[in-house]
Chains A and B, each alone.
Chain A
Amino acid sequence: MEKILEVKNISKIYQTPKGEIKALENINFKLKAGEFVSIIGPSGCGKSTLLSIISGLEEKTEGEIFIQGKKVEGISKEIGYMLQKDCLLEWRTIWSNVMLGLELKGIKSKESNEYVKKLLQKYNLYEFKDKYPQELSGGMRQRVALIRTLAIKPKILLLDEAFSALDYQTRIMVTNDIYNILRKENITALIVTHDISEAISMSDRVIVLTKRPGTIKDIHTIEFEEEERNPISCRESPKFSKYFNTLWKELGVDENK
């Protein structure tokens, strides 16, 4: 399969008045097109920083990022980003919210209008297009936020603890929901999470980072027998707990150091 994203020798040092903080050291990995990869690690290991660097929001100290073989600087148009909260603007209607990305980039057109309309219809949100975010449930809001990101047709989606603000029940549903949407739209996903079971249930591979300065400790390939796998069916598989234990130990040992 084609390599869509390559992260090469990424290091990050923060300058603060008290001195230098090494956040990331020598990170290397590649993503194949259509792959789902999770990054887990102890809190403060720099996993969110890594995502910000890949998205171009933050400067890197060293290293290079390649998307489809091309070196990128700054914010790439192939990348979509989903944050911890849905970040919907309460003063805008759902329609106006999902159009925000296109509006900010100045690429609103008849085609993009049609495309967004189709997305909303496909994912059962079209009838809510004139409502305001506060009238929607947490799960629906997250779906709106996803469509806002998909509207700019990204090839790679970065999810930064995108579900952690939701309650447990909603979270499982939304994870499943978003997983299916992303697979359907054929998008490559890089997911940062602190939730081991979320990482296993959503991804093809899991990258484990060490404590700060974050380096790659291990990369695990996750495989389930199911032909039509989705996060909820994964959780029922006997392999799930095996993976969970492996990852949990790997993170746990680190904490006891």
Chain B
Amino acid sequence: MTLAFALAAGVLAGSGAYLALKRDLLRVVAGIVLIANAANLTLMASGGTRGESPILPVEGEISDPLVQAMTLTALVIGFAVIALLLSLVYRVYTGYDTLDLDELSKEEARHAREIDQQARDDDDVAEAEGR
């Protein structure tokens, strides 16, 4: 079983990493969702025991409740993070009218140059005023 869990987590994380390298921002978010899923699965699989659900009364072996609680917390936080990521993606879209990372990089580099130019112009003005 250990091997099965590890294989599944590996495939999930690998697919996620592949998607995270795409040019499409939405696919990047999807990749992060998959990586989060892989992490949750690992957390669940790391329970010390497997057995019945931890709701009293139980007889015999029960499934480790601690990892369940931790996975629950991780799931909820993952949800919050993905909601935030998606709205960030939307924000990027409204600001740049594109979701293409290559175009965004170009835009960002252009913007950085613009800021530099602005700062240099300001300096020149300040210099001229100082004289």
Q: Do A and B come from one complex?
A: no
